[in-house]
Amino acid sequence: MKKFTLTHLGLGVAFVGIISACADTHIYKGERYYENLAYSQAIPHFEKVYFKTKDVKIGTKLADSYFKTGNFSASESVYRNLVIENESSDRALDYARVLMGMNKHEEAEKHILRYLITHKADESAKDLLLSCYNINKRFVDTSLFQINEIETPGIVNAFSITEVSDKIVFIGDQEVRKGKRSPWTGESFLDIYSMHKSAQGDWSAPELIAEEGVNGKFHEGPVTFSKDEKTVYFTRSNYVERKMELNEERENNLKIYSSKLVDGKWTELTEFPFNNDDYSVGHPCLASASNELFFISDMPGGFGGTDIYKSKLNNGKWSKPENLGDKINSSGNEMFPYMDETNDQLYFSSNAHNTMGGLDVFMTHYSGSEWSTPENLNYPVNSTKDDFGFVYSSDSREGFLSSSRSDNDRIYEVRNYDPTFNLIGFTHEKGTMKPIEEVVVEIIDKKKLKTISAISNENGGFIVELGSEKEYSILCTKPGFYSLTDYVTTMGHRYSKDFYADFEIEWIEIDAPIVLENIYYDFDLANIRPDAAKELDKLVKLLNENPMIDIEMGSHTDLRGTEIYNFDLSDERAHSAVQYLINSGIDASRLSWRGYGESVPRNNCLNDSDCSDEEHEWNRRTEFKVTHVHPGRYESQ
């Protein structure tokens, strides 16, 4: 992998000065290359010194150079030796980042915790620790996105796709054997390329955009186009003709340029008015509908390394850049903004905000007054390496991704899918785990009134796939058994999930009394108490679920009072319960009642016995029993 993401993508691409002819030591040469970000050229000089002397200062720069150029295993080896010497040094965090990039989060966590013992206020360390703690959450649902690499023959590294008409435009570097090389990677400088996709889905070979004034001698990209594709905005190293422009600190910062298409040719370049030699401005993304240009910069007044800003074009003039605020920008680096204007969703990459390692892609939504908390898009969009340059259309649910998860920076096609949901059920006999087969399960979409049907197998199991953002009612039926209903919803669920349902199926027994627990009456009264009403509501549900049954309500009294009086009281109580059911919508033709008085006690509490009020109350009960089953009514549910 070529670790581009903090230079060509990022900022401060430094000019590699001419090393003095009199410099004859590897330390001198290595440090000069390192200071000018020429890591690929610094490495061989540092290697010759460090492996002989084990000098900590040289080792630190060697490990960092390995990391910047993507040689994680070599970087890990050197950092490990450095951290053994001093666990509390800043190298511990650098070592942790390398370990995270190699998917060794548990080991990284240990070093971060040791570092925090002496650096309790270090927010970047706390953020890295949170990333380690939450790494498993990044795999919560790996089915939402599918990514496929796009082959780019002849291009070593490719990233940051922009769609233009029937082609894609991206940034890349070629492998070079002769000529000018990027000191960072040892490959060519970055240029703008394009590719076409055939009707058969095959990509053409990359072509260098040859328009005069767009591709120059040093780094170009990323780019963005206006909606009519007649204006292009792109990032470029700050140079005039063949010479890099340096500030007082000998840094060459990035700038945004634009060019207009006139008579088929790109006109002379125009600088973005907020470019500055003392800081970088880059990664433009134009939201055409609002004429807003989103970009990144390390200008003074930000929250950290590189922040995301926006500026609006009004009457040919760009407004003062507006920082998107601390919900999006952090003490780390925020990069590669992309605005999906359909839903006002901003995608960007950051090495903060709780990543898997390196840069991760995040999404935030603008409500009209503020941005939402950035959401990590998780694996497979993100990985433990750098993931960036994400562009996405919510209409087509397709887009592109750049990632260094392979040996180099590569570009990928992205497809977004709905989460998947399954209802997994088990039907068994009530009171046991004996499975009941051939139970008909109907799952009814409440909005569209479409029904999905399943039948339990010999093991009592069934499985049904559910849709996204749906509400379902569930009905389980089998002749000879009470029907059951339930409810399941996938509303608001962002990730795939299995829902589990356990249905206890109960035989319908004719003339078998079933006590309605907690249906009690006050002494000498027949009215339905509030606690009794709750239990009768359950019976209403049962009757609605089972339109094929008729029932008798039976009421019993305690043994206090005369037999005739208790019979009349119980009859009144049974009738009161039936009336409650009728008032709740149950057809009166399905109901009958009977008062049993004191003839069927549940205990031995006779009229003159020494029983408590609670024991007498236990005899004051209401039961129901099925008196008839109408098989034809099963089909009418």
pLDDT at 187: 52
Whether 344 is in a domain gets the answer yes
Say yes or no: 525 and 500 in one domain.
no
Specify the 3-state DSSP secondary structure of 147. strand
**The pLDDT of residue 180 is above 90:** no
Pairing of strands 421-429, 461-466: antiparallel
**pLDDT of 419 higher than 50:** yes
Report if residue 51 sits inside a domain.
yes
Which CATH number do you get for residue 617?
3.30.1330.60
In single-letter form, the type of residue at position 345 comes to Q
Q: How much of the chain is helix, strand and coil, in % rounded to 5?
A: 25, 35, 45
CB burial of 183-219 (b: ≥16 within 10 Å; e: otherwise) equals bbbbbbbbbbbbbeeeeeeebeebeeeeeeebbbebb
Confidence label for 211 from pLDDT (cuts 50, 70 and 90) = low
CA–CA gap between residue 309 and residue 321 (Å, rounded): 6
Q: What is the pLDDT of residue 632?
A: 62
pLDDT, tens digit, for every residue of 12-55? 443 333 333 333 478 888 888 887 778 888 999 999 989 988 88
Q: Pick the residue with more confidence: 615 or 14? A: 615
Share of the chain above pLDDT 90, in %: 52
Domain count, the chain: 4
Q: For position 390, what pLDDT does the model report?
A: 97
pLDDT over 50 at 429, yes or no: yes
The percentage of the chain sitting over the pLDDT mark of 70, rounded to a whole number, equals 88
Domain of 31, CATH number, reads: 1.25.40.10
Mean pLDDT of the chain, nearest integer: 85
Place 151 in a pLDDT band, splitting at 50, 70 and 90: very high
| Side chain identity at residue 438, one-letter code | E
Structural domain harbouring 79: 26-139
- 464 and 481 in a single domain? The answer is yes
Residues 439 and 372 in one domain: no
Mean pLDDT of 298-316: 94
pLDDT score at 176: 63
Task: Judge contact between 306 and 333, C-beta under 8 A.
Answer: yes
pLDDT of residue 184: 46
Q: Which of 212-226, 259-273, 274-288, 525-539 has the highest mean pLDDT?
A: 274-288
Span 121-137, mean pLDDT?
A: 93
- What contacts 348, CB < 8 A, 6 or more positions away? 308, 328, 334, 335, 336, 337, 338, 361, 362, 364, 374
Domain boundary residue, one of 483, 505, 527: 505
For residue 407, the domain's CATH number is 2.120.10.30
Q: What are phi and psi of 621, to 5 degrees?
A: -140, 165
Query: End of a domain among 353, 387, 416?
Result: 416
Regarding whether 152 and 116 lie in a shared domain, the answer is: no
In a domain, residue 9? The reply is no
Q: Which pLDDT does position 475 carry in this prediction?
A: 92
Please tell me whether residues 203 and 350 are part of one structural domain. yes
The residue among 43, 72, 73 whose CA lies nearest residue 58 is 43
**Token pair listed for 142:** 């790996």
428 and 412 within one domain = no
Residues 337 and 470 in one domain: no
The larger pLDDT score, comparing residue 499 to residue 174, is at 499
For residue 547, pLDDT over 70 is answered with yes
Same domain? 222 vs 164:
yes
Nearest to 35 by CA among 250, 242, 181, 299: 250
Q: What is the C-alpha separation between 580 and 530, in angstroms, rounded? A: 12
Confidence (pLDDT) at 612: 86
CA-closest candidate to residue 12, choices 276, 190, 258: 276
Domain final residue pick, 505, 526, 559: 505
Tokens of residue 431, six digits: 């009171």
Within a domain: 396: yes
pLDDT of res. 528: 81
2 part of a folded domain: no
Residue 441 pLDDT > 90: yes
Decide: 586 and 551 in contact? Cβ < 8 Å.
no
Q: What is the pLDDT of residues 344-359, one digit of tens each?
A: 899 999 999 999 999 9
Residue 507 carries which DSSP code? B
Whether residue 168 sits in one domain with residue 127? no
The answer to whether residues 207 and 335 belong to one domain is: yes
Task: Tell me how many degrees the CA angle 328-334-337 measures, rounded to the nearest 5.
Answer: 85
**519 contacts 570 by C-beta, under 8 angstroms:** no
Q: For residue 18, is it within any domain?
A: no
- 19 within domain boundaries: no
Classify burial at 468, counting beta carbons within 10 Å of its beta carbon; exposed 0-12, middle 13-18, buried 19 or more: middle
In a domain, 337, yes or no: yes
Q: How confident is residue 3, by pLDDT bands cut at 50, 70 and 90?
A: very low
pLDDT of amino acid 218: 52
| Greater pLDDT, 14 or 323 | 323
CATH code of 468's domain: 2.60.40.1120
Residue 604 CA to residue 403 CA, distance in Å, equals 80
Same domain, 97 and 242: no
Same-domain check for residues 129 and 220: no
